[in-house]
Amino acid sequence: MDFALTEEQKMVQEMVRRFAENEIAPVADELDRSERFPADTLRKMAELGLMSMLVPAEAGGTGMGAVAYALALMEIGRACMSHAVTTSVTNMVCEGIYRFGTPRQHARYIPRIASGEYPAGAFALTEPGAGSDAGSLRATAERDGDHYVLNGTKVFITSGTHAGVVMVAAKTDRDAGKAGISVFLVERGTPGMKVSRKEEKLGQRASDTVELVFEDCRVPADSLLGNEGDGFKIMLSSLDGGRIGIASNSCGLGRAALEAATTYAKDRRQFGRPIAALQAIQCKLADMDTQLEAARLLTLRAAHKKERGRPYTQEASMAKVYATEMCQRLAREAIQIHGGYGYVREYPVERYLRDAMAVTLYEGTSEIQRLVISRNLLA
């Protein structure tokens, strides 16, 4: 067993850490307040190769691999969760197009995502009546000559306003249950696809979360990703990888919370000494550090298995449920250590807790991760 990172992985980690500290962290608070989509920094991140990390170089990506990808997202999540979720969803879409797409789809979309010409990619599965039970989705795609016609509503779609391309799940066969679901690549500006609502969120406020409505939205037949009926498998398989991304983002946020709490505990004096000298505070910091390390190891293990081409569904769910719940606990503890100052906007820890509350919801709630884990355990 080797826990050491390769030289390439260390270089990616170092490069992204520098970028995140210099370019993302300084704007994170203002972006949270203004709820402004971070188009400028995302473009620079694409230039650094961070939007196509899971796609090999010969297909137009940067092919850094799943472990380097996890390390990069940990650095981005440490600086800003809005950037982190936008980046992880875009990479998931880019990888989905690579894994399931035709050469024409590769050539059309991967360079545009990789270069930053598209500010983001989006993944549209959830509907008003189909959340955790995604297989019950009702959007339809009917074949009409050399086109499909999409109708339906997708909710909570990350980057739905800005994405150059959206992976949309819809039923091509209404009577076939999950086996009737297919996926389409729908380009921004396609007539019939419109943003009908922008969500105002508790946290991750600079990420874009919208409702997308499809009304007689005609897409060419070659927009189909994979085969008709493969859509549910494509979306779930993409989410397996996506969960490593969300776990990584959460490790980054956990790290930020721990660092803020440690710095504050050393500075803040009560009873004539820094509160870091109090054992009650030391125990909190020790627990936070231990939980963060456990989450990091679970996440890197899942990424390592994925990179090796081994099955990793179980590991990804374990990493996701543990890391997301860890970052919520750490954000809460960071506020507790800051006392009253943790509850006001002068310090970043209140943002950390607001941002942390989303991660146990998207890409499968904690309850759904536990179902995946126990199903494997009991099989």
Ligand X SMILES: Cc1cc2nc3c(=O)[nH]c(=O)nc-3n(C[C@H](O)[C@H](O)[C@H](O)COP(=O)(O)OP(=O)(O)OC[C@H]3O[C@@H](n4cnc5c(N)ncnc54)[C@H](O)[C@@H]3O)c2cc1C
Give the active site residues: 363
- Closest distance between ligand X and the C-beta of residue 8, in Å? 30
**Contacting residues for 130 by C-beta, under 8 A, at least 6 apart:** 136, 137, 138
- Closest distance between ligand X and the C-beta of residue 109, in Å? 17
Q: Which residue is nearest to ligand X (CB)?
A: 131
Nearest to ligand X of 63, 131 (CB atom): 131
DSSP 153: E
**Contacting residues for 104 by C-beta, under 8 A, at least 6 apart:** 222
- Closest distance between ligand X and the C-beta of residue 209, in Å? 5
- Closest distance between ligand X and the C-beta of residue 183, in Å? 12
Nearest to ligand X of 131, 135 (CB atom): 131
Tell which residue, 25, 108, 100, 16, has the closest CA to residue 53: 16
DSSP string over 82-128: HHHHHHHHHHHHHHHHHHH--HHHHHHHHHHHHHTSSS-EEEE--BT
Interface contacts to ligand X, rule CB under 6 A: 89, 123-126, 131-132, 156-158, 201, 204, 209, 358, 361-363, 365, 367-368, 371
Residue 61, classed as helix, strand or coil, is coil
Question: 328 and 335 in contact (C-beta within 8 Å)?
Answer: no
Nearest to ligand X of 157, 219 (CB atom): 157
Q: Is 222 exposed, middle or buried (0-12, 13-18, 19+ CB in 10 A)?
A: middle
Tell which residue, 232, 359, 376, has the closest CA to residue 312: 376
Alpha helices in the chain (DSSP H): 7-19, 25-34, 39-47, 66-79, 81-100, 103-115, 231-267, 279-307, 313-338, 349-356, 366-378
Token pair in block for residue 174: 């209404």
- Closest distance between ligand X and the C-beta of residue 235, in Å? 8
Tell which residue, 58, 184, 149, 171, has the closest CA to residue 111: 58
